[in-house]
Structures are given as structure tokens and as C-alpha cells.
Amino acid sequence: MTYRWKPSVTVAGIIEQEGRYLLVEEHTPKGLMFNNPAGHLDPGESPWEACVREVLEETAYAFTPTALVGIYLSRFGKPPTPDDPDEDITYLRFAFTGVLGRHDPDRRLDDGIVRTLWMGIDEMLASQERHRSRLLVRCAQDHARGIRLPLDAIYTDPSVYLPGGPA
């Protein structure tokens, strides 16, 4: 069988209020790290639906995407562990901005998430050694530059929602 390269598709919420961006601090194999509220696209959902879900799971905030900030490609070398070999992972990230909604203080955050926090771009630049993703600052900078693409720039075919995949 021929090897087929498959990037890992992720989504991120780029959420700004008064010049500060909503981030999460989370446990990783490298210790506590900062990231945008972000995660993987799951089967049966569109990228914007995945972003709504991930922001809620990681921050306990409702989120309504209003625009796409960008589509990003990055590469990460995952070092080996006693249980897993090293891995060369390419991430394809869809980053959305939008309206932050109601916070549910009783909602439990995703496993590994320690807390949410707000950080300005200068603070992000000063803490890059603690970033889980190289894209954290870039997405915030693109947002601050005013980059906004329409949500309908991403089309999700109805076959995505079919149980068991397309017929």
C-alpha cells in the first residue's frame, strides 16, 4: 500500500477584547503551555462548527464565528516517548474570529486545560517559549491587522453530515 500524507486539520478561536486575546493554559508533554482555544476537526462537522465546539470545551464560553482570519500550515516534530515513536505532524489550521457569548462558570474545562487567560500580542511575543503552537502569535497578529475572510469561503458539502460517510 502506498503511503498517503494526511495533514491534521485543526481549528482555533481568535477572540479579542480590548486588545487582549483569549488563550488557554494547558498541560502538554513539555509542561504548561499557552494556546488559542483550539482543537481537531471531528468527523461530521464543518470547520466553523468544530471551532464553536472547541471554544466551548476549552473555555466554557459560547462562541459565534463571524469571519475566517486565515488558513495556516505548520509542521511539528513530536519527540518520541516510551509509548510512541517520534512523529512529523503537519497541521492545517482554520482560525476564526467572532462574538464571545455567555460564560458557563459551572462547565468543566477539557482535560488538560488549567485555566483561561487574556494576553496582549506583546505578552505573547514575550512568552513564545511557552506556546504550544507556533501559530498563536501569527493568528493574533493577522487578526490585529484586520484580516477577515467571509465564512462562506469555506464550503462544507452535505456529504460530511451523512452517517457512515457518502454513499
**Is 138 a member of any domain?**
yes
pLDDT along the chain (167 residues), means of 10: 85 98 94 97 96 98 98 82 76 97 96 97 97 95 98 94 73
Q: Give pLDDT, residue 4.
A: 82
Look up the CATH number of the domain holding residue 112: 3.90.79.10
Q: Where is 29: in which H helix or E strand?
A: none
**Is 165 a member of any domain?**
no
19 φ/ψ sector (left φ>0, alpha ψ -120 to 50, else beta): left
**Is 92 a member of any domain?**
yes
**Is 159 a member of any domain?**
no
What's the whole-model pTM score?
0.90
What range does the domain containing 55 cover? Answer: 8-149
The number of distinct structural domains making up the chain is 1
Q: Give pLDDT, residue 82.
A: 74
**Is 157 a member of any domain?**
no
Q: Give pLDDT, residue 164.
A: 73
Question: What is the bridge-based pairing of β-strands 61-78 and 16-17?
Answer: unpaired
**Is 160 a member of any domain?**
no
**Is 156 a member of any domain?**
no
Q: Give pLDDT, residue 80.
A: 66
**Is 31 a member of any domain?**
yes
Q: In whole angstroms, what is the distance from residue 28 CA to residue 30 CA?
A: 5
Alpha-carbon separation of residue 22 from 56, 79, 102 (angstroms): 12, 28, 14
Ordered alpha helix ranges (H), the chain:
47-59, 121-126, 135-144
Q: Give pLDDT, residue 14.
A: 98
Q: Give pLDDT, residue 77.
A: 72
Q: In whole angstroms, what is the distance from residue 118 CA to residue 122 CA?
A: 12
